Amino acid sequence: MFDREQLLAELVDISIALTSERDLYALLDRVLEAARRCTRAEAGTLFLREGDHLRFAVVQNDFLQQKLGALELQQRFQAEPLRLTEPSLAGHVAQTGEIINVADAYAIGVHETRAHNQRFDTTSDYSTRSVLVVPLQDLSGSIVGVLELLNALDDAGAIVPFDPDHEKLVRALASQAAVAVRNARLEDLSFKDLPTELYNRRYFDLRIDEEVKRHTRFGHPLSLVVLNVDHFRQLNTDHGRAVGDEVLSEVARLLVKHSRSFTIIARLDGDDFAALLANTPRAGAVTYSQRIRGVIANHRFTHGAITASFGVAGLPADAASADELIAAAHRALSDAKRLGRNRVTAL
């Protein structure tokens, strides 16, 4: 049985992780797992509130994972957010901040927004009975999400009601999740280039320092690609800054779309972009750059054809520090522009 001392230790560990873990979803997954362990819940969902919707951020369900597999389980639930306008227990908690603890979700009837939404049970052939739902409420009182636990189990594996004594414990875990969400959203604002929605130079500088240290410690290859739009000043002169900004946003979208999810894409200054490729040797970064160059050159921009030039450098071949790697990639970019633009150059 998950006792109070274990929960306290878990809360301390999660508090420490809040200061070091950059992956919001890893933290939320950990919070949900701890809540399930302390209540013996068969399943649980952690929703994030986004406007008038609740989005499935983390889903854990032992029964459905055995039946569907982990990937299918995540895809099925994350495909369609929950609208706050449709009756649901999670939606009611998101709007009111109440804690809901019911022994039989199908027997509670409909009271305003407080009703069990059976849509997901129907599509997944799952039977929800006991339910405990608590809000993710930050220090300002804002409800940023909902933690929902399903089907508490006894020692024999039978579904039983959630113990009311567990409500405060789960609320404490939900508060930790709310802090993680708020921190992540504040970090997104401080680390994002708003016009392009890419990471900004501040975030790029932090990450390249981290990746260089990781390279020094473990010897994993690290490559940097810098690029900029060819003849961008002339584009602004001919068509105006608004068109230039539109082109930068479209280039940013293409970079994100055609890069792996763990590639760090940032806007450095003006029309300068960077792609930081961890665990990628220079040859792999050249291949990546050639592919992106072709994507941009073949894309139909609103105001005509656009091309870009690329410079590639890598550790340990071209540099020994973050500053040296950035300088080497920019030297390669200068060579690409000198040689005629719309090309990839590596040192």
pLDDT given for residue 177 in this prediction: 86
Please identify, among 147, 166, 189, the residue that sits at the C-terminal boundary of a domain. 189
Residue 188, pLDDT above cutoff 80: no
Residue in 255, 298, 290 with CA at minimum distance from that of residue 274? 255
Give the chain's domain count.
2
Does residue 175 sit in the same domain as residue 198?
Answer: no
Q: What is the mean pLDDT of residues 47-73?
A: 81
Share of the chain above pLDDT 90, in %: 52
Residue 202 has a pLDDT of: 87
Give residue-wise pLDDT tens across range 249-264: 999 999 999 998 778 9
Residue 65 sits in the same domain as residue 15: yes
**Pick from 108-112, 202-206, 223-227, 236-240: least confident:** 108-112
Both 48 and 81 in one domain: the answer is yes
Residue finishing a domain among 170, 189, 208: 189
- For residues 50 and 171, membership in a common domain is answered with yes
Q: Do 46 and 179 fall into the same domain? A: yes
213-223, pLDDT tens digit by residue?
Answer: 889 888 889 99
Q: Are 211 and 276 in contact, with CB atoms under 8 Å apart?
A: yes
| Whether residues 247 and 268 fall in one domain | yes
Distance CA 88, CA 119 (A): 10
Same domain, 214 and 183: no
Q: What confidence tier does 50 reach under pLDDT thresholds 50, 70, 90?
A: confident
- Per-position b or e across 259-292, b if 16+ CB within 10 A of its CB: beeebbbbbbeebbbbbbbbebbbeebbebbeeb
Domain encompassing residue 102: 4-189
Q: What is the pTM of this model?
A: 0.54
Residues 213 and 318 reside in one and the same domain: yes
* Co-location of 180 and 153 in the same domain: yes
Q: Between these two residues, 307 and 127, which has the higher pLDDT value?
A: 307
pLDDT on residue 201 = 92
Burial pattern 239-250, b for ≥16 Cβ within 10 A else e, equals: eeeebbebbbeb
What is the gyration radius of the CA atoms in the chain, in angstroms? 25
Locate tokens 């508090």: which residue? 15
| pLDDT of res. 20 | 55
| Average pLDDT along the chain | 86
Token pair, residue 218, equals 């473990």
Would you state the pLDDT for residue 111? 45
183 and 200 inside one domain: no
- Residue 12's closest CA among 36, 29, 30, 24? 30
Asked whether 147 and 133 are in contact (CB, 8 A), the reply is: yes
pLDDT-based confidence at residue 64 (cuts at 50, 70, 90): confident
**Joined tokens for residue 344:** 């990839």
pLDDT given for residue 3 in this prediction: 60
Residue type, 61: N
Residues 31 and 176 in one domain: yes
Return the pLDDT at 76: 63
Report the first-to-last Cα separation within the chain, whole angstroms: 60
CATH code of the domain in which 10 resides? 3.30.450.40
